[in-house]
Amino acid sequence: MTRVMPFLWYDNQAGEALRFYSEAFNVPVQGADSGDDIFLGSLSLPGLELMLFNGGPHHEFNHAISLFVLVETQEEVDHLWDALTADGGEGGRCGWLTDKFGVSWQVVPEALGRLMSDSDRERAERVRNAMLGMDKLIVADLQAAYNG
């Protein structure tokens, strides 16, 4: 069976990153112990397996690639936003954030896609404009923009 998964290169923080993501998503670490001194480990997030690798200081993460997390509720947005920006992460615009390791994430409520794909282009445009003014996405504010 063919499988495709992101392979994330860390200087020497793969073990710390495994624990960090495990706690943020409340999932167990796989393929490695929970110690910092690992070479390669994996983590199964909902719908995605990540491989994490300690490869040395040869490459850095950038915003060209992000991990898109689609969630149902504002509570999930809040939890993941807070967890992934903890300890030095940084929020960005339109649901994007960078965690403390430099990995880019998008934490997006399913309501955004539903509201922006409405056939009423005026409503969809109001939602888009509201989203462009946000950092962490707020479902109630997106819905208010949709309602006019």
Higher-pLDDT residue of 124, 33 = 124
Beta-bridge mates of residue 106: 68, 96
Q: Show the CA angle centred on residue 64, arms to residues 62 and 67, nearest 5°.
A: 90
Identity of the amino acid at 140: A
Examine the pLDDT at 83 and tell me if it is beyond 80: yes
Confidence of residue 36 (pLDDT cuts 50, 70, 90): low
- Residues 129-148: what's their mean pLDDT? 98
Q: Give residue 111's pLDDT.
A: 97
- Residues 77-103: what's their mean pLDDT? 97
Domains present along the chain, CATH in parentheses: 1-58 (3.10.180.10), 61-148 (3.10.180.10)
In the chain, what is the straight-line distance between the N-terminal and C-terminal CA atoms, in Å?
48
Task: Report the distance separating Cα 62 and Cα 66, nearest Å.
Answer: 8
- Residues 51-59: what's their mean pLDDT? 89
Question: Who's near 68: CB < 8 A, 6+ residues apart?
Answer: 105, 106, 108
- Residues 112-126: what's their mean pLDDT? 96
Q: How many CA atoms within 13 Å lie on the side-chain side of 20?
A: 21
**Element (DSSP H or E) covering residue 66:** strand 66-71
Indicate the range of 60-64, 125-129, 143-147 predicted with least confidence: 60-64
Confidence of residue 63 (pLDDT cuts 50, 70, 90): confident
Q: Give residue 4's pLDDT.
A: 83
pTM for the structure as a whole = 0.89
Examine the pLDDT at 32 and tell me if it is beyond 70: no
